[in-house]
Structure 1
Amino acid sequence: MAPPSLADAAIAQHTPPVVAGAIAAVPARLDQARKGMMLARVGLLLPVDDAERRPAWPTPRLLSFLFVVLLPTVLAAVYLFGVAADQYVAEFRFTLSTAEQPRIDPLAMLAGGAGHAPAALESQILVQYIGSRAIIEQVDRSLDLRRLFGTSEADWWARLARGAPIEELLRYWKEQVDPFYDPADGTVTVRVRAFSAMAALQLAEAVVAASERLVNQLSQRMRDDAVQHAQAEVDGAEIRLKGVLDKVHAFRDREGMIDPVKTAQTTDLLATRLRDELVQDNAQLATLKAYMRDDAPSVKILKARIRSLETQQRGLAREMTDPDKTRNDTLSSVLGSYEALEND
């Protein structure tokens, strides 16, 4: 307790004992009140200073965390667990095969790759078709896609508007139907999503049916192209054959022989026989001259035979190599022309 002041002492001297006791208690209460006020002041000043140092609004970092992280997370959780409707997924896989040999691409070989197999090309075409407007128009004939995707079972956010234009339907289709081609094993995988198991199954079956129609059309077109190409080759071969036959007929009419090859073979055989007979007759003539005179009848007959054989041999030689009076070309040139026609 603080010592009494002069004013307190003066009051105490002129105050009765009872009043003095009461007055003496007042300073004690005042001291306690002053101490309490001092403590309260100290306690109030410190928070006031901290409040002055602390900003009145949240920091930008806190705001960005709230709006970028916390609020979207809360909204997504509320939508997924409280609003979003269940979606069912139907998946199917298939592979395409063809009997046609892979086409060799020189650029791909230089780059270290392989040729393009027709099945791989058809699979890529099919993947593009499943994500196109053409299949939407095809499937929409059997399934009302706007009704299927705009069903009341879907939530308001994921539901397709009943009167959505074809562009909006195409965008929505690409979100619900996901085709993928794996070049490692040549498998095409398609996943379709709908708001009921039956709708997902119906949509998957419709996509499979449309895909089969496209594959059959591609296969039929490839077969038609192959048949058309083969028919064109056959027609060209027939035209060339007809031209060659016409040339052969004209050649035979011009040269006066049916088969120059057989004619040449016959001529060569005849020349061989003449040569053999000449060898024999010359040998016989040499034998006769050993014990007969040159004017002997046998020697004269044999000499005449040898002269006749030599004349025939020279005639065959001229026929095969030189023009004569009855033929425009030699047999060798005729045979060459005929072989050229055969090669055509």
Structure 2
Amino acid sequence: MLSKKNKNLFISYCLVVLVPLFIVVLYLNIFAKNRYESNSILLVKQVAETQVANSSSGLGALLGVSNTSREDAQILKEYISSRDMVEKLDKKLNLKQAFYTQKDPVFALSKDASIEDLVEYFNKVVKVDLDEQTMMLHVTSQGFTSDFSLKLNHEILKISDEFINGISKDIAQEQQSFAEKQYQEAAEQLDQARQAVLSYQNENEIFDPELQAKAVATLISGLQTNLAQLRTEERTLLSYLTPEAPQVVALRSQIESVQKQIDAESAKLTSPNNSKLNKNVADFEALKAQVVFATDLYKISLASLEKARLEASRKLKKLVVIAAPRLAEDALYPRKIYISITTFILLNIIFGIGLLIHSIIREHRV
């Protein structure tokens, strides 16, 4: 027969350890619904990387691991766990109904769960692990049926692919749109500069003021040379003729005519009048400088546009499915043996702590 102390200890042990353990085991075997798991492995890869692929070898060249950024993998991992993903999946698969079961309130989602509760539960049954070396994402999804777990994993892959394509195309499109806008503005600026030159030529009825100014300057130089020769000839005649001599008078008339022509041509080049060639040359040079600047800007913007198009194609990414999800045959969850053993150990620890506390209290009372 057990003593009263041992009997009380046995009763306490039954109440604290055995009875809760029995309830847990009973629940796991009768009420807890089996959950099936489907797995897939993903990789974010750049679309256009032919040069890198050619210089690589082995599996890295095939999968483009060297081109997969850590940032892309981290972004996709966070997106799969996000509320946006859950809401899209809920619209397609009705997650609230799929995760709810009346007989299993512990491992299933409650019937009146909010969107926050759904996101929290989703992140319990859907796990995303990132391999830091290969940058591959391992996606596991659980469901109360093997068909649903497989369908859930497929939908996650589909939405993830749309997400990756969407953000890469948006970034590439924004860069290309900016380059196209700069190109259009440069083309308009060049067209305006050219039109300004044409308008100036038509309004002033002159093709190139600089060329005309050079022609006038050449003419003046020739006239001055001729004038110098005539003055030399005049001095020669005056050495043996009087100033009233007919030859001297005729030569002086010729000198005066040449001087007037020089003055008239010089007036075309420089004068207070705004319509003279010196101002025309200055204005036309300014217009030509604007055309040269606009042309250089146009060339730069055109090169930037081509570069943006190449960069846009390089930045496009796609989701590569390394291992596609498969239909599960055995239920992996809940792990009944593991939970039972863990519960038994924890209850024994709690019971031991309780005995220790009870012993300490009893010793202090004595």
**Structure 1 Cα separation of the partners of residues 166 and 81 of structure 2:** 18
Tell me whether 1:139 sits opposite 2:89 in the alignment: yes
**Structure 1 Cα separation of the partners of residues 123 and 289 of structure 2:** 64
Helix, strand or coil at the partner of 1:159: coil
Greater alpha carbon shift after TM alignment, 227-236 vs 214-223: 227-236
Per the alignment, residue 149 of structure 2 pairs with: 200
Of the three residues 159, 163, 168, the one matched with 1:210 is 159
Helix, strand or coil at the partner of 1:190: strand
- What is the aligned length? 265
Tell me whether 1:335 sits opposite 2:284 in the alignment: yes
1:221-300 equivalences under 5 Å are: 221-226=170-175, 228-230=177-179, 232-233=181-182, 236-237=185-186, 240=189, 244=193, 251-252=200-201, 256-259=204-207, 262-272=208-218, 274-275=220-221, 278-279=224-225, 282=228
Tell me whether 1:128 sits opposite 2:78 in the alignment: yes
Against the structure 1 CA distance between its residues 218 and 307, is the aligned structure 2 distance closer, same or farther, given a 3 Å change threshold? farther
RMSD: 5.5
User: What runs of 5+ residues in structure 1 fail to find an aligned partner?
Assistant: 1-53, 100-116
1:169, CA displacement in angstroms?
1.7
- Deviations along 1:231-266, whole A, 9 cap, x unmatched? 544564566567656755765576x2444xx22123
Q: Counterpart amino acid of 2:80?
A: I
**Structure 2 Cα separation of the partners of residues 294 and 172 of structure 1:** 126
1:173, CA displacement in angstroms?
0.3
Q: Counterpart amino acid of 1:135?
A: M
Of the three residues 167, 172, 182, the one matched with 2:116 is 167
The answer on whether the counterparts of 1:282 and 1:306 sit within 8 Å (CA) in structure 2 is no
1:225, CA displacement in angstroms?
3.4
Against the structure 1 CA distance between its residues 335 and 165, is the aligned structure 2 distance closer, same or farther, given a 3 Å change threshold? closer
- Deviations along 1:250-289, whole A, 9 cap, x unmatched? 65576x2444xx2212321342354257547856986998
Q: Which has the higher Rg, Structure 1 or Structure 2? A: 1
Question: Under a length normalisation based on structure 1, what TM-score does the superposition of the two structures give?
Answer: 0.52
Per the alignment, residue 11 of structure 1 pairs with: none
Against the structure 1 CA distance between its residues 322 and 211, is the aligned structure 2 distance closer, same or farther, given a 3 Å change threshold? same
1:175, CA displacement in angstroms?
1.0
**Structure 2 Cα separation of the partners of residues 265 and 79 of structure 1:** 106
1:91, CA displacement in angstroms?
2.5
1:294, CA displacement in angstroms?
7.3
Against the structure 1 CA distance between its residues 98 and 320, is the aligned structure 2 distance closer, same or farther, given a 3 Å change threshold? farther
**Structure 1 Cα separation of the partners of residues 185 and 260 of structure 2:** 50
**Structure 2 Cα separation of the partners of residues 189 and 326 of structure 1:** 80
User: What runs of 5+ residues in structure 2 fail to find an aligned partner?
Assistant: 49-66, 295-366
Per the alignment, residue 324 of structure 2 pairs with: none
Question: Under a length normalisation based on structure 2, what TM-score does the superposition of the two structures give?
Answer: 0.50
